[in-house]
Amino acid sequence: MLNQNTYIVSNWKMNGTNALMHDMVKTFIEKTVTKKVTPESAHTNVSWIFCPPASLLTETKRHYPTINLGGQDCHPKRAGAFTGDISALLLKESGVYYVIIGHSERRQHHNESNAIIAEKACMAIECGLIPIICIGESEENYIKGQTLAVLNDQLTESLSGIRQHITQAPFIVAYEPIWAIGTGKTATLTDIEKVHSFLRKQLPDTPLLYGGSVTASNAGDILPIPHVNGVLVGDASLKVDEFKAILEAAGAY
């Protein structure tokens, strides 16, 4: 059964500082999640999943042990000679419970295919993490009315590993139209509702998030859309006041 939690995922990408992390976490930790979360209980009492750059994870966890931390990516292999990459196992050791996988910036700048994403998702689960798997159509797909067909293919291929090898492991799916990420454009409420209804038919028990230029001024309209269980927030999650308003819209603050 899908629980009724609202997930607010903040993705700092390659931004932020140690000082901003302390400002942000001190401001929100008390008012959001204070309960210890494990992979087994992670679908209860979660409101804020904080995904800073990997270099800030250990420091964040050390100062704020109750925080729900997420990584921004992981390698498909458990360990090895992969300079500059980070494994799901190392994330886990840093106190992380979630990991974003298949973000469109990874798909675009690192040529990540659905097949790689499927492998990463499996490895994340094997290492005890909950993957947040991102899917989304390009502007061209959107204009041509191909959104649902593209999402269907991405979903089928990105989840193929989990479906073949792992059953019952929790994961989250984030619908992020590529043309809405970091652009100030958002999908219409009707588009979001249509996509999320489509995804819900395929994934009755999976938390479904929306991401793409979510701000203080539109979060209150997006969060109540049927089958939207939360939002993935980039730019606005780097601004304390803006992020506070998003948490307020979610009833988490």
Catalytic residue numbers, as ranges: 103, 176
In angstroms, give the least distance from the CB of 210 to ligand PEP.
9
Of 162, 211, 245, 253, the residue at the interface with ligand PEP (CB under 6 A) is 211
Supply the angle between the helices 18-28 and 240-249 in degrees, to the nearest 10.
Answer: 30
Residue nearest to ligand PEP (CB): 234
**Per-residue x/- track, 178-197, ligand PEP (CB under 6 A):** ---xx---------------
Of 91, 212, 227, 245, the residue at the interface with ligand PEP (CB under 6 A) is 212
CA angle 244, 248, 250 (to 5 degrees): 120
* 8 Å CB contact between 213 and 11: no
Q: Which stretch binds ligand PEP (CB under 6 A): 18-26, 42-50, 84-92, 205-213?
A: 205-213
Question: C-alpha distances in angstroms, 42 versus 80, 122, 123, 236?
Answer: 29, 18, 18, 24
How many residues interact with ligand PEP (rule CB under 6 A)? 15
* Per-residue exposure over 57-96, b if at least 16 CB sit within 10 Å of its own CB, e if not: beebeeebeebbbbbbbbbbeeeeeeeeebbbbbbbebbb
Q: Could you tell me how far CA 93 lies from the centroid of its own chain?
A: 19
In angstroms, give the least distance from the CB of 81 to ligand PEP.
29
Of 69, 232, 246, 249, the residue at the interface with ligand PEP (CB under 6 A) is 232
In angstroms, give the least distance from the CB of 83 to ligand PEP.
25
Binding status of residue 102 toward ligand PEP by CB under 6 A: no
Of 43, 119, 176, 177, the residue at the interface with ligand PEP (CB under 6 A) is 176
In angstroms, give the least distance from the CB of 132 to ligand PEP.
10
Closer Cβ to ligand PEP, 137 or 176, answer by number:
176
Q: Return the residues of window 23-82 that contact ligand PEP according to CB under 6 A.
A: none
Q: Which stretch binds ligand PEP (CB under 6 A): 30-38, 157-165, 192-200, 231-239?
A: 231-239
In angstroms, give the least distance from the CB of 163 to ligand PEP.
24
Closer Cβ to ligand PEP, 212 or 230, answer by number:
212
CA angle 49, 209, 32 (to 5 degrees): 30
In angstroms, give the least distance from the CB of 220 to ligand PEP.
16
Residues in touch with ligand PEP (CB under 6 A): 11, 13, 103, 176, 181-182, 211-214, 232-236
